[in-house]
Amino acid sequence: MNRLHPFSALVYAVQYAFLWLWVPVFLIFVLGGVFDPISPTWFPFVAALGFVAGIAYGIAYYYRFGYRITDDTFDVASGVIARRDREIPYRRIQNVDIRQGVFQRLVGLAVVSIETAGGGSTEATLSFVGEEEATRLQNEIRRRTAEVKGRSTDRPSGASEDADETGMEASESSDATEDVGTSPADVDATGDGPTDVTDEPAVDSPDRGIGPGPGAGESIPGDRAPNQVAGPQREGLFDLEARELLLYSFTSFRPAAVAGVLFVFFFMTDTIIEFFLSVAEPLGGPADLETGTASSYGILTLVSFVNGVVITYLLSVAYTFATYYDFQLGRVADDFVYERGLLQRYSGSIPAEKVQSVTITDNPAQRLLGYAGLWVETAGYGPDSNGGSQSAVPLAESGRVYGFTENLTGIETPRFRSPPTVARRRYFVRYSLVAAALVALAFGLTRVTVFERWYLAAVAFVAVPAAAHLRYVNLGYYVGDEHLVVRRGFWRRRTTVIPYYRIQTVNTRRSIFQRRLGLASVVIDTASSRTLFWSAPTIYDVELEDGRDVHATSRDRLQTALRKRSEGEVGLSVDFT
């Protein structure tokens, strides 16, 4: 068994020392209230005893932690009192990620995380190993994983590797799609229909300027940590230019920024309140919280809200910039590999074999500037991923992104179908109810606060028609020969391309309001994880008969795609530029 870097012993010793320091202190505090002989004067002695015991345990943990590469598995052994031995088969390994913070980069250390398909957390973490050892592990595991894939492709065509990856056999996939009572109606293979076609440009339209991006066909430089050891040759696919990085930072928002602002406010409440008071006072705000009037408090509230939004936005810009600084995407054999990060550097992989779907994302600002991003959904979890969602191209011109998507998936030109117009009326009613709720809330606030003009909240009704229309026009779907394409969302529009062989289940769902209007929604599930921010691709509010047609067609084409997949006729192109 190989051991971690000796610096890990120090890290574990300090970590467990401060953890165990509080255990005996807590026990003395609890037992002191029950038994009189136990005195609080014992605190220093028991704290020192816990501190020393924690150091001993941390060092013991270091010496009892080991890892090794075998012919078929990557083995990890850990634990001092309760031992845990893990054997991770190469065929299940999805990512081998390398992470380096600022201090770790200075001292030449790295954290290696090994992720498996379908896992909800990191399967094994090596904290810490040297840079050269981290790169050696990444390259060696990647090579052995490729060898396992190579042996898998030599199996008879009847044995589908996809069954192992997605967790269901072809026959099970068929049964999974029949969880609602829809008839297997025949559907036109092209997916054309009488409904309106949106004005979304075709994926391979000549005016999109499809072509290789910066760095295509070049090798990613190896002079940055942690890639200082010669490994498999990398082919550069995409480099995020400085202009694109700045655009991405200023046109995207990170929810983590809200948590960061709340965290700072919790620890610096008085200072922040004084800052807001000083900013609002020249505009008519109160000099302090005790001597203000109703109008000055209103100005303070408005100014504080604006300042909070601006500060949160600037924090989001800084976070995005630091996260995607010097983003590079390349390929090694059949894996996509990436590097990114300013303060904390990531180096990881996205196995093409594990990609479940491909999603083009954009928001109103990015669409106005003609830019979009490209994400891939995998079946596993990683420290760089959003529950399985990983950025392949953070931001590039829309033409290039659509070209990348076409070359990556081999998708045919989509002709999007829109929901019936009754869906737009449904959204109008829904948003009108939301506006009415806002007015009612404003009226309620006037009963318990100094605010009076509750009727100003009725301005929300002005936005209702535009909101209903924008939601409607950004919905669409396309049933292709080898792919299902789903488009939804306005503030963050997502166009997801799903190969049929990756579909696990297709569900037709109808709420009580949809049943009254003869509508239905079709939910397409793959093996990728779903999170709070990324839901399963859903075709919203189509006519019931159309929904049943999509359901039946997807089920039938899933079987054909699985047969082609087992014969090696379909797959993703790793050289998608």
Instruction: Output DSSP code: residue 500.
Output: G
Q: Quote the pLDDT of residue 569.
A: 66
**Which of 124-133, 152-161, 372-381, 465-474 reaches the highest mean pLDDT?**
465-474
- Integer CA distances (angstroms), 31 to 43, 279, 336, in order: 12, 51, 57
- Integer CA distances (angstroms), 352 to 81, 332, 337, in order: 40, 10, 10
Instruction: Give the pLDDT band of residue 153 (cuts 50, 70, 90).
Output: very low
Could you report how far apart the first and last alpha carbons of the chain are, in Å?
42
- Helices (H) then strands (E): counts for the chain: 16, 19
| High-pLDDT (> 70) share of the chain, % | 78
User: Residue 5 in contact with residue 129, Cβ under 8 Å?
Assistant: yes
Tell me the per-residue pLDDT of 135-148, one tens digit each, with 9 for 90 and over: 899 888 888 887 87
Give me the residues paired with residue 556 across strands: none
Instruction: For residue 361, give every residue at least 6 positions away whose Cβ sits within 8 Å of its Cβ, in sequence order, or none.
Output: 372, 373, 374, 375, 492, 493, 494, 495
- Integer CA distances (angstroms), 185 to 189, 401, 506, 550, 552, in order: 12, 35, 15, 9, 6
pLDDT at 419 over 90: yes
User: Residue 523 in contact with residue 536, Cβ under 8 Å?
Assistant: yes
- Integer CA distances (angstroms), 418 to 200, 374, 423, 473, in order: 11, 23, 10, 7
The whole-angstrom separation of Cα 99 and Cα 80 is: 26
Tell me the per-residue pLDDT of 83-113, one tens digit each, with 9 for 90 and over: 888 888 888 887 888 998 888 888 889 999 8
pLDDT at 184 over 60: no
212 conformational bin, left if phi > 0, alpha if psi -120 to 50, beta if neither? beta
| High-pLDDT (> 90) share of the chain, % | 32
Length of the chain: 577
- Minimal CA–CA distance to 80: which of 138, 170, 158, 12? 12
Tell me the per-residue pLDDT of 429-454, one tens digit each, with 9 for 90 and over: 999 999 999 999 988 888 877 677 88
pTM, rounded to two decimals: 0.75
User: Residue 339 in contact with residue 346, Cβ under 8 Å?
Assistant: yes
**Which of 84-88, 321-325, 385-389 reaches the highest mean pLDDT?**
321-325
The whole-angstrom separation of Cα 244 and Cα 221 is: 20
Instruction: Give the pLDDT band of residue 348 (cuts 50, 70, 90).
Output: confident
Instruction: Give the pLDDT band of residue 213 (cuts 50, 70, 90).
Output: very low
The whole-angstrom separation of Cα 393 and Cα 302 is: 38
Instruction: Output DSSP code: residue 295.
Output: H
Instruction: Give the pLDDT band of residue 183 (cuts 50, 70, 90).
Output: very low
The whole-angstrom separation of Cα 403 and Cα 208 is: 8
Structural element, H or E, at residue 159: none
The whole-angstrom separation of Cα 564 and Cα 570 is: 6
- Integer CA distances (angstroms), 293 to 87, 288, 289, 476, in order: 68, 10, 9, 52
Give me the residues paired with residue 498 across strands: 484
Least confident range of 210-224, 295-309, 349-363, 459-473: 210-224
Structure tokens at 60: 């013991």
The whole-angstrom separation of Cα 254 and Cα 221 is: 29
What are the helix (H) ranges across 74-130?
A: 102-107
Q: Quote the pLDDT of residue 31.
A: 64
Q: Quote the pLDDT of residue 422.
A: 94
The whole-angstrom separation of Cα 385 and Cα 376 is: 10
- Integer CA distances (angstroms), 86 to 74, 91, 341, in order: 8, 15, 31
User: Residue 471 in contact with residue 419, Cβ under 8 Å?
Assistant: no
Structure tokens at 552: 């039946």
Q: Quote the pLDDT of residue 179.
A: 40
pLDDT at 383 over 70: no
The whole-angstrom separation of Cα 394 and Cα 153 is: 32
Instruction: Give the pLDDT band of residue 372 (cuts 50, 70, 90).
Output: very high
Instruction: Give the pLDDT band of residue 530 (cuts 50, 70, 90).
Output: low
Instruction: Give the pLDDT band of residue 120 (cuts 50, 70, 90).
Output: low
Tell me the per-residue pLDDT of 264-296, one tens digit each, with 9 for 90 and over: 888 888 888 888 888 888 888 888 888 878 778
Q: Can you list the positions of beta strands (E) in 107-175?
A: 109-116, 124-130
Give me the residues paired with residue 477 across strands: 417, 486
With 0-12 CB in 10 A as exposed, 13-18 as middle and 19+ as buried, what is 96? Answer: buried
Other C-beta atoms lying within 10 Å of the C-beta of residue 539: 28
Q: Quote the pLDDT of residue 82.
A: 84
pLDDT at 211 over 50: no
Radius of gyration of the chain (CA): 28
User: Residue 485 in contact with residue 499, Cβ under 8 Å?
Assistant: no
User: Residue 71 in contact with residue 143, Cβ under 8 Å?
Assistant: no
- Minimal CA–CA distance to 139: which of 226, 4, 74, 232? 232
Instruction: Output DSSP code: residue 418.
Output: P
Average pLDDT value for residue range 522-527 = 88
Tell me the per-residue pLDDT of 20-55, one tens digit each, with 9 for 90 and over: 877 777 777 766 656 666 666 667 777 888 888 889
Instruction: Give the pLDDT band of residue 532 (cuts 50, 70, 90).
Output: very low
User: Secondary structure of the chain: what % helix, strand, coil (to 5)?
Assistant: 45, 20, 30
The whole-angstrom separation of Cα 563 and Cα 342 is: 45
The whole-angstrom separation of Cα 480 and Cα 552 is: 13
Tell me the per-residue pLDDT of 459-476, one tens digit each, with 9 for 90 and over: 999 999 999 999 999 999
Q: What is the pLDDT of the chain when averaged over all its residues?
A: 79
What are the helix (H) ranges across 474-543?
A: 512-517
